[in-house]
């Protein structure tokens, strides 16, 4: 009986509590804007310039460079130029990146832009010393890459020059001769002794007598050695003649000029070099 009374009591107490009104919470003010909203910023779509095919230069931007295998030598990077590429008298300033990252400066005298012509690599301490010799080679129908050397150049510089010559789009890599002067001649003999890209080598006033040790490795490919009899380095050039295991084209010249300057000032050497290059290219076909 008591449990019924308790249940009734709890039921009545619950009803009493439910009948009580709950207290309404006090309203709290919220943050509002004190001024007008800003106008949306206008969206500007910049016009991206595009380059036509004619604006693309040889070098890193050339499709040929993009197709080369990893770590391959890039073709020369065109920096500017004069004249219409492919026409006689035109010249383009170029850069070649050496193995240590040094930028090597040079000039490219291109032949016909739609043909791969025989190539001539000129190497000298100062490429300006060749005079008009590069233009005469260009007029003969060759593509010419004329390079200047830095002080105390490593062998890797010549290797980079030679391989960049072979990657030039207007040069036939199967027909390349090297004409090098002074220290460039010494490097060229060492480099060509280990690389069959050189079809022929002309050494103008070599100055390192120890290079004779590489003659055996380079020959029997065509070799021309020239020096002025009045130059103190003539004895070194004559050492090459005497040390060659086979006959080479040795040209003693009058005067005392050296290297590229000897080619520029001699009355006969430039013509002899052009004829020699023609014979080498004919034999390489």
**First vs last Cα of the chain: how many Å apart?**
129
For residue 135, the model assigns a pLDDT of 95
* Cα separation, 24 vs 21, whole angstroms: 9
Place of tokens 């290797």: 159
* Cα separation, 202 vs 123, whole angstroms: 10
Place of tokens 């590489």: 214
Residues 6+ apart with CB under 8 A from 168: 58, 75, 76, 108, 119, 143, 145
For residue 142, the model assigns a pLDDT of 96
Question: Sign of dihedral through CA atoms 107, 163, 130, 266?
Answer: negative
Residues 6+ apart with CB under 8 A from 32: none
Structural domains for the chain: 89-284 (3.40.50.1820)
**CA proximity to 117, closest of 172, 173, 179, 176:** 172
Sequential pLDDT tens for the chain (285 residues): 666 767 777 777 776 666 665 666 677 767 666 666 666 667 666 666 665 555 444 444 555 555 555 555 667 877 777 766 667 778 999 999 998 889 999 999 987 777 899 999 999 999 999 999 999 999 999 999 999 999 999 999 999 999 999 999 889 999 999 999 999 999 999 999 999 999 999 999 999 999 999 999 999 999 999 999 999 999 999 999 999 998 899 999 999 999 999 999 999 999 999 999 999 999 987
Q: What is the DSSP string of 8-30?
A: HHHHHHHHHHHHSPPPPPPP-PP
Residue 248 in contact with residue 240, Cβ under 8 Å?
yes
């Amino acid at each position: 009986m008591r449990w019924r009374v308790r249940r009734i009591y709890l039921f009545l107490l619950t009803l009493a509590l439910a009948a009580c009104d709950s207290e309404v919470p006090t309203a709290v003010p919220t943050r509002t804007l004190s001024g007008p909203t800003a106008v949306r910023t206008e969206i500007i779509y910049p016009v991206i310039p595009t380059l036509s095919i004619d604006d693309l230069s040889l070098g890193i931007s050339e499709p040929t460079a993009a197709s080369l295998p990893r770590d391959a030598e890039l073709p020369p990077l065109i920096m500017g130029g004069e004249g219409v590429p492919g026409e006689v008298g035109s010249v383009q300033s170029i850069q070649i990146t050496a193995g240590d990252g040094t930028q090597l400066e040079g000039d490219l005298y291109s032949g016909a832009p739609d043909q791969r012509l025989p190539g001539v690599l000129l190497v000298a301490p100062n490429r300006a010393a060749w005079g008009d010799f590069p233009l005469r080679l260009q007029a003969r129908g060759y593509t010419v890459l004329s390079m200047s050397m830095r002080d105390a150049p490593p062998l890797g510089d010549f290797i980079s020059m030679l391989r960049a010559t072979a990657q030039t789009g207007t040069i036939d890599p199967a027909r390349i001769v090297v004409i090098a002067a002074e220290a460039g001649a010494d490097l060229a003999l060492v480099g060509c002794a280990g690389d069959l890209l050189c079809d022929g080598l002309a050494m103008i006033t070599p100055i390192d007598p120890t290079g004779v040790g590489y003659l055996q490795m380079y020959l029997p490919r065509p070799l021309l050695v020239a020096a002025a009899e009045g130059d103190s380095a003539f004895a070194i050039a004559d050492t090459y003649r005497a040390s060659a295991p086979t006959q080479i084209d040795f040209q003693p010249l009058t005067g005392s000029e050296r290297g590229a300057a000897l080619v520029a000032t001699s009355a006969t050497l430039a013509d002899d070099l052009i004829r020699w290059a023609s014979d080498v290219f004919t034999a390489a076909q």
